Amino acid sequence: MTFDKRKVVYQIYPKSYKDTTGNGVGDLRGIIEKLPYLADLGIDMIWLNPFYPSPQRDNGYDISDYTAINPDFGTMDDFEEMVATAKTYNIDFMLDMVFNHCSTEHEWFQKALAGDPYYQDFFILRDTPTDWQSKFGGSAWSPFGNTGQYYLHLFDKTQADLNWRNPNVREELFKVVNFWRGKGVKGFRFDVINLIGKDEILIDCPVDDGKPAYTDKPIVHDYLKMLNQASFGQDDDSMTVGEMSSTTIENCLLYSAEDRHELSMTFNFHHLKVDYKDGQKWSLIPFDFETLKDLFHTWGEKMSKANGWSALFWNNHDQPRALNRFIDIKNFRNEGATMLAASIHLSRGTPYIYMGEEIGMLDPDFDSMDDYVDVESINAYQMMLEQGKTAEEALDIIKAKSRDNSRTPMQWDDSANAGFTTGTPWLKIGKSYQDINVEKEISGKIYPFYKELIRLRKEMPLIAEGSYRPAYRDSRQIYAFERELNGERLLVLNNFYGEVLTVDLASAYQNGQVLLSNYESDGLGKTITLKPYQTLAILAKG
Ligand code: TEU
């Protein structure tokens, strides 16, 4: 059996969802409290970012104990109650498995540092570092105590890469998945999993192909098969997703091919780099629609033809809010938010909603660098100053690009701290909370539209399972595609701009049926005029 293609995942950043203790940090009991809200929305699975014990140097992606709960978030009893209560709503959980690295405070690293050779082989230690750069800036190698050796950390220096070549490491990590399976967990998200395959002999990054020497190594597929077989692959109804850093379609096809027994699906990020200048995140340019459209079409078509499966998403805890990046929010927040939603929820793959997206939350619009806490932002700010940018220029870039943009507390109502906490929130609330909050939006335009999209996917096999084909490929303004299943066809037109546009309609759709739109329908004909940020889904007749 394979996973259910009708399912929709909702991502919760636990630190920022709902605080029930007043410590300023969201907690598991807060999630329990909000389950009726999530059941109303109609989602099937909740992906939780890490809530395990951690020194929080990278907000929990630096794990010091994989099978316990950070007391800030609650207890194991809370966790069990949360899983059990969610099941009464038919909601399952997807946990974040950060297996490329662990915190340097994890006992494995501590024992290694203390000289235990068994644990030293858990890490990647070398006498001479390569030229690899940490994703958070600076060298990816730091001195390993005073041994004269260096340990690898592709992320922060407190996140030591694990040595997957060592079978004992693999066994420990497989045990972690099984521990959580034992608690009733059905879903797993594997953090930067395509980076786990390091060669025995490490080489400098090749300059010409721009691809780091440690990405998508063929051995990753073998490791995933082992992981699958030893753990979640034993559950018929498991659903897994691998986060793939700088990956390729070819690899994602392999990772997600049903008969290879690796993962259910993959996340890739190419479509969220279309506003990077020359591939550099810390820059400010408008998004490139042509590239975005081509990426969606190329991936959509190839994954469909070869039967691969992708996770579809606009937002997550590492990305600024898509509304700020792609939409004229001053004039068309509702239209833009609903159009973006339809452009992935009606497409082929599993849609992921990031908390607050369903109410059209925006970037927080912080005024000062002091409001940011993310290690990546703080390092990037310093780097930009060193490169000669003024403080103002650097702050403008951080404001647009910081990961904290999506990590601000969920906006529940217009009371103090947006109803998130009675204490001081760990990260400031976004400026918009009095206008944009759950209480208001539940009867607004965006939330009901998400509900409808989720409902349609459940009801219509065409949406859940249909093939994907690009449409209007040459359009400079609309991103459109067709879905097809057993002779049924659906055309989805998405106007990515605030200007109207008239297009011709193929005859099968001229007297088709409007399935969904974010505007009142004007009826169908030989041509159709799309309003600003309009989305329009038409079922073909006959
Ligand atoms: O992110 C992986 C990753 O590559 C991101 O750091 C991405 O490059 C960056 O956010 C783009 O600006 C995962 C987690 O999602 C992230 O939160 C962690 O910090 C990271 O792994 C390390 O575990």
For residue 521, give the nearest of 541, 537, 507, 501 by alpha carbon: 537
HSE toward the beta carbon, residue 193, CA cutoff 13 A: 30
Centre of ligand 1 to C-alpha 318, Å, is 6
| Cα–Cα dist 408/17, whole Å | 9
Ordered mean pLDDT values, 10 residues apiece, the chain (542 residues): 92 98 98 98 98 97 98 98 98 98 98 98 97 92 97 97 98 98 98 96 78 90 98 96 96 97 98 96 98 98 98 98 98 98 98 98 98 96 98 98 98 98 98 98 98 98 98 98 97 98 96 97 94 98 78
Between vectors from CA 111 to CA 105 and to CA 112, what angle results, nearest 5°?
A: 95
State how beta strands 101-103 and 159-161 pair: antiparallel
Tell whether ligand 1 has an atom less than 6 A from the beta carbon of residue 273. Answer: no
Return d(Cα 384, Cα 377) in angstroms, integer. 10
The fold of the 9-102+167-451 domain, in CATH, is TIM Barrel (3.20.20)
Q: Which of 19, 62, 92, 191 is catalytic?
A: 191
Q: Please tell me the distance between residue 358's alpha carbon and the centre of ligand 1 in angstroms.
A: 23
Contacts of 36 (CB under 8 A, 6+ apart): 89
Three-class SS state of 45: strand
Burial class (CB in 10 A: 0-12, 13-18, 19+), 171: exposed
Cα–Cα distance, 9 to 208 (Å, whole number): 38
Ligand 1 site, residue 61, Cβ cutoff 6 A: yes
Concatenating the DSSP letter of every residue in 315-372 gives --TTS--HHHHHS-HHHHHHHHHHHHHHHHHTSSSEEEEETTGGGT------SSGGG-
User: If you take atom 20 of ligand 1, which residue's CA is the nearest one?
Assistant: 61
What is the SS3 assignment for 62-76? CCCCCCCCCCCCCCH
Pick the CATH number of 466-539 from 2.60.40.1180, 3.50.50.60, 3.30.460.10, 1.10.3470.10: 2.60.40.1180
Q: Is the CB of 245 under 6 A from ligand 1?
A: yes
Active site residue 243: yes
pLDDT of res. 208: 62
> Residue 182: its pLDDT value, please?
98
- Determine if ligand 1 sits within 6 Å of the CB of residue 98: yes
Q: Which of 243, 358, 404, 441 is catalytic?
A: 243
Query: For residues 124 and 198, is the Cβ–Cβ distance under 8 A?
Result: yes
CATH code of the region 103-161: 3.90.400.10
pTM above 0.85, yes or no: yes
Specify whether the CB–CB gap between 494 and 481 falls below 8 A. Answer: no
Report yes or no: 31 and 69 within 8 Å, Cβ to Cβ. no
The residues with which 350 forms a beta bridge, in sequence order, are 311
Residue 16's closest CA among 6, 4, 24? 24
Does 5 sit in the ligand 1 pocket, CB within 6 Å? no
What DSSP designation does 10 have?
E
What pLDDT, on a 0 to 100 scale, did the predictor assign at position 210? Answer: 60
Which SS3 state, helix, strand or coil, does residue 35 take?
A: helix
pLDDT at 2: 85
3-state secondary structure of 439: helix
Q: Which amino acid, one-letter code, is at 482?
A: E
CA of 104 to the centre of ligand 1 (A): 18
Q: 271-303 burial, b for 16+ CB within 10 Å, e for fewer?
A: bbbbbbeeeeebeeeebebeebbbbbbebbbeb
**E-strand spans in 259-306?**
265-267
- As a whole number of Å, the end-to-end CA separation of the chain is 32
CA of 320 to the centre of ligand 1 (A): 13
Rounded to the nearest 5°, which phi and psi values hold at 517?
Answer: -155, 160
Question: Among 231, 229, 216, which residue's Cα sits nearest to residue 95?
Answer: 231
User: Residue type at 413?
Assistant: D
User: Of all protein residues, whose CA lies closest to atom 2 belonging to ligand 1?
Assistant: 192
Residue nearest to atom 14 of ligand 1 (CA): 191
Q: Does the CB atom of residue 56 touch ligand 1 within 6 A?
A: no
Strand partners, 46: 10, 93
Give the number of the atom of ligand 1 that is nearest the alpha carbon of residue 100: 23
Q: Please indicate whether residue 275 is annotated as part of the active site.
A: no
Residue 205: the pLDDT is 86
List the helix and strand counts (H, then E) for the chain.
17, 20
Output phi, psi for 329, to 5 deg.
-75, -20
Where are the chain's structural domains?
Answer: 9-102+167-451, 103-161, 466-539
Which helix (H) or strand (E) covers residue 492, if one does?
A: strand 488-495
Helix (H, G, I), strand (E, B) or coil at 265: strand
Q: Where are the alpha helices (DSSP H) in 150-216?
A: 167-181
8 Å CB contact between 130 and 204: yes
Side-chain half-sphere exposure of 317, counting CA atoms within 13 A: 24
406 lines ligand 1 (CB under 6 A): no
Contact 17, 30 (CB under 8 A): yes
